[in-house]
């Protein structure tokens, strides 16, 4: 099971280093991230590599669009729970 705090720390670090968004350190979980489509795609790749979260454009799984940190944390938790249940 992935702990939410661990996901939050890793995602914040990724956003700060990869997208040079130092303000992420001070954002609340509900503050707007304002990521463009390329950043959204890179974030999805990071989540896949780091947490094994698979998000496909076809089939049953919907491609997530992340507007805030809580969206990301929830998606990792939901996808991880779904894969553990299979």
Per-residue confidence (pLDDT) for residue 11, from 0 to 100: 93
Per-residue confidence (pLDDT) for residue 28, from 0 to 100: 94
What does pTM read for this prediction? 0.79
User: For residue 33, what are its two tokens?
Assistant: 């991230």
Query: Over the stretch 35-80, which tens digit does the pLDDT of each residue have?
Result: 998 998 899 899 999 998 877 655 444 556 889 999 998 888 865 5
Which residue ranges make up each domain of the chain? 4-85
Q: Is the pLDDT of residue 1 over 70?
A: no
Residue 68 dihedral angles phi and psi, to the nearest 5°: -150, 170
Give yes or no for a contact between 70 and 5, defined as CB atoms under 8 angstroms apart: no
Q: What's the rounded Cα separation, in Å, for the pair 53 and 45?
A: 9
Give yes or no for a contact between 14 and 46, defined as CB atoms under 8 angstroms apart: yes
Q: Which of 8-17, 18-27, 35-44, 60-69 has the lowest mean pLDDT?
A: 60-69
- Supply the CATH classification number for the domain 4-85: 1.10.1200.10
CA atoms within 13 A on the CB side of 74: 10
């Amino acid at each position: 099971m992935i702990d939410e705090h661990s996901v939050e720390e890793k995602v914040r670090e990724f956003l700060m280093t990869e997208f040079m968004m130092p303000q992420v350190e001070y954002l609340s979980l509900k503050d707007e991230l304002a990521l463009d489509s390329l950043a959204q795609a890179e974030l999805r790749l990071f989540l896949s590599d780091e947490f094994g979260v698979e998000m496909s454009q076809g089939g049953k799984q919907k491609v997530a669009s992340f507007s805030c940190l809580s969206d990301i944390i929830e998606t990792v938790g939901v996808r991880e729970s779904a894969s553990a249940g299979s």
